Structure 1
Amino acid sequence: MAGSQLTVRYFAAARAAAGTGEETVEATGSVDELVDVLVAVHGERLAHVLKVASFLVDGTAWHDHQAPLPAGVTVDVLPPFAGG
């Protein structure tokens, strides 16, 4: 879909690695493709976080990283959280 965009929100270590809390990017086909785009923009530090992150698409856990992303969605990047 030419010209469509999606919002990516970063939390915790993902926010630190990306250097931003939120950005808008051109829509991609899948989470895997989105990861490739984000790594190209932000580099290897974010790549390490994305390898272990969970993804929510409009608030729903998105386990199939090959599944097409709907246009206009918000993707939350959630790294594992340390706890005690």
Structure 2
Amino acid sequence: MLTIRYFAGARAAAGVTEEQLPAGQDLTQLIKELGAAHGDGLSRVLLSASFLVDGLAWHDRRAPLPSGATVDVLPPFAGG
């Protein structure tokens, strides 16, 4: 299983704080699955979001996500 945690605008778009999904996919597949499950609002957020896997920035969207990992979805933040 994977634990998906949403922050800020991603949380608002997903309508949940956290969810569990089956392991065995890469980030590209996960993004498609999340967009299909939660709709266009989250799909738009995911296009510009950053992702942490077990606390580390995950840049290779084709690398398999480790089973048991926590994936944090971080939308762009506005600074001030």
Q: TM-score, normalised by structure 2?
A: 0.97
Q: Runs of 4+ in structure 1 displaced over 2 angstroms?
A: none
Cα pair 1:29 1:69 within 8 Å, conserved: yes
Q: Does 1:50 align with 2:46?
A: yes
Residue identity over aligned pairs, in percent, reads 62
Q: How many residues align?
A: 80
Corresponding residue SS for 2:30:
helix
CA distance in 1, matches of 2:68, 2:40: 26
Q: CA RMSD in A?
A: 0.7
Cα pair 1:6 1:27 within 8 Å, conserved: yes
CA distance in 2, matches of 1:74, 1:38: 15
Residue 30 of structure 2 aligns with which residue? 34
Counterparts of 1:5-84 in structure 2, within 5 Å, are 5-84=1-80
Cα pair 1:30 1:68 within 8 Å, conserved: yes
CA distance in 1, matches of 2:24, 2:12: 23
State the shift of 1:28 in Å: 3.8
CA distance in 1, matches of 2:17, 2:25: 22
Cα pair 1:56 1:76 within 8 Å, conserved: yes
Q: Which consecutive residues of structure 1, in runs of 5 or more, have no partner in the other structure? A: none
Q: TM-score, normalised by structure 1?
A: 0.92
